Structure 1
């Protein structure tokens, strides 16, 4: 009996556990369904927001496009062109009925005449526009304009006659009606011709860059007429489209002036050379030492040649490379000031050149007979003379400048001799130390 009750309890416990598991699974499925529903609702909400945002952007883009279209449509050129066409249409609608009534009153068979007369005026006006577009000769345009004036004038005379004979009107009203019909008949072709004239001028004028280019072309042809004519000859001689005018102009400039630099001529090259020489002469230090200032004459005393003699403590024989620093400029004595404003006793003042111990340098080419006949010395001879001249010199006095003055050679050879003599002395000192 106890065994049966235990089994019943176990069965009930198993059933309860199964129901709990089933309930948990049902709750899990319900939660998943709710989560999926929430995610689907969120996606739909995001999609609706994206669609609304896209719709707003599309409306904004359409508004911008409409605003730009209105701006382009309301430009001065469009308003002028479209307004002129509207006035021309109003002119045709105002003049054509009077002609139709006039000819219909005469005979119904004359009804095509108004259309022919008015149509002839407008067709000839369109012919003027076509001639401008195709760049036809000027006489073609003026012939078409003459036909326009003839057709429009005949139509205006008919409208004036019709307006002045209108019944049930006073005489001033008839006169005003006739003048108005005649004016509106002539106004349409006149406005159309003015529109075409303005359009042609605008097309010829172009952008500001085009105007500047045409102005430059006219100025160049005016200032360089012969070169431009020669360039035109080159262009006409070459096959069509193979030679550009700019290349031909550059070639013609080189032929006429001898230079490939635009704008330069032989005279300008001479002026440039003279200016360069004048600048170099102006930047060169003055040869004399006479300077004139306001009311005073400054005369510098000649340099005493005794100041150039070297002392054992001053390295005057050393070159710039030996010194390792720039040699300071020699200090000149104070200038002697001579007051010329109020001279006490008139006396002639002679300005002489500064005395110099060096012989005067020959100016210009020296003739062959006056040249020195001293043969060129070899490197060994120069080295021998340098050894003899510097045998009693100290290492401090052994400089390139001193060697140059002693053996009368060039600075480059003097530097080579200096290095050679220094190397020999170092070698001799090293040999003596080794022997000791």
Structure 2
């Protein structure tokens, strides 16, 4: 009996444990679902913020692209042109209708002719047609615009001179603004690559200078290009051949005169770089040059410096004779002492510089004679 109750109690405990585990698992599932929902909501909000930022950046980019100086100028010019046409046509319509109702199409024909010719100028610029075509279209455009401005001036003068001049100016400013706009656009397209344009300008300048400096070669090169089939001989190849024909050399820039000049300069350089022969005459010349270049004095026993004389070894101690004659009478001089004779020990020794030069000369002479 007790075993049955124990089993029953164990079953209840097991059921309770199973229910607890089930509830814990379900709670964990609910928490996981809520966490996933929060993550998804957070991701959706982040994506929404990113999308909003991207849309904002796209709008800013479009605005920046739209509000560039070029776009503002182009669109603003078109707006001014449209306003000019809207101001000019009613005055012309009023003028011609007052004359006759059958003249109603004339204002539209005048304005249409002016704007069609202006568009023709733009098309000619785009297709890079000859300049005379563009100037002819400009002349037609200005003629039609000028006639319309004259009509508006006559019609506006009835209300006052200022009104007439204002209508005429408005009529002419539209085509003029459009022409200036087209001119600016054409120039902007031409300088889209400034580095390439600068290179082309430098090349054209170089070609003009080369043809001006070498006219004979340019004539021969032109004849070679014209004689060859079209496109088979390039200008640079023709120039190289013409240079060889005219000057006899394939090196650009060199002529017979310049070759002779180069040979003469090379010979002069070789002569200048050749060393001088070391003989006795050269050694003697160098020694004498160094002796004369050295300015020095020799001391005497009394301490008075004496200048160098012709003989560097013997110096007389007699005073120099006076070159000027005395005016006062002089008593008969005493007996002059006998001339000084050289004796042992009265000559001054060699100067140290002379000793150095003599030793150097002896060594060089020995080397020249083949002794070591």
Specify the TM-score bucket, using the shorter chain as the normaliser. Answer: 0.5 to 0.7
Aligned equivalent of 2:293? 339
Aligned equivalent of 2:369? 357
Report the Cα offset of residue 281 of structure 1.
6.9
Mapping 1:153-232, distance limit 5 Å: 153-166=146-159, 174-225=160-211, 230=221
Report the Cα offset of residue 357 of structure 1.
3.5
Matched, 1:142 2:135: yes
Report which structure shows greater RCO (CA 8 Å, sep ≥6).
2
Extract unaligned runs of 5+ from structure 2: 297-306, 312-363
CA contact (8 A) 2:118 2:137 kept: yes
Aligned equivalent of 2:335? none
Question: In the superposition, relative to structure 1, how do residues 77 and 354 fare at CA in structure 2: closer, same or farther (>3 Å)?
Answer: farther
Distance 1:43 1:253 in 2: 81
Aligned equivalent of 2:61? 68
CA contact (8 A) 2:92 2:151 kept: yes
Distance 1:23 1:156 in 2: 105
TM-score, normalising length: structure 1: 0.57
Mapping 1:273-312, distance limit 5 Å: 299=286
Aligned equivalent of 1:12? 5
Distance 1:48 1:270 in 2: 92
Report the Cα offset of residue 62 of structure 1.
3.0
Report the Cα offset of residue 192 of structure 1.
0.7
Report the Cα offset of residue 279 of structure 1.
7.0
- 3-state secondary structure, aligned to 2:196: helix
Distance 2:145 2:180 in 1: 15
Report the Cα offset of residue 176 of structure 1.
1.4
Task: Work out which of the residue numbers 256, 272, 276 in structure 1 matches 2:243.
Answer: 256
Distance 2:277 2:52 in 1: 87
Count how many residue pairs are aligned between Structure 1 and Structure 2. Answer: 294
Question: In the superposition, relative to structure 1, how do residues 58 and 112 fare at CA in structure 2: closer, same or farther (>3 Å)?
Answer: same
Report the Cα offset of residue 277 of structure 1.
7.1
- 3-state secondary structure, aligned to 1:157: helix
Q: What CA RMSD, in Å, does the superposition of the two structures yield over aligned residues? A: 3.8
Extract unaligned runs of 5+ from structure 1: 1-5, 167-173, 291-296, 302-334, 348-352, 359-436
Distance 1:278 1:64 in 2: 76
Distance 1:27 1:129 in 2: 87
1:243-294 per-position Cα deviation (integer Å, ceiling 9, x unaligned): 7x5xx4156336525446xx6535777777777777777777665699xxxx
Question: In the superposition, relative to structure 1, how do residues 231 and 71 fare at CA in structure 2: closer, same or farther (>3 Å)?
Answer: farther
TM-score, normalising length: structure 2: 0.66
CA contact (8 A) 1:221 1:228 kept: no
CA contact (8 A) 2:91 2:152 kept: yes
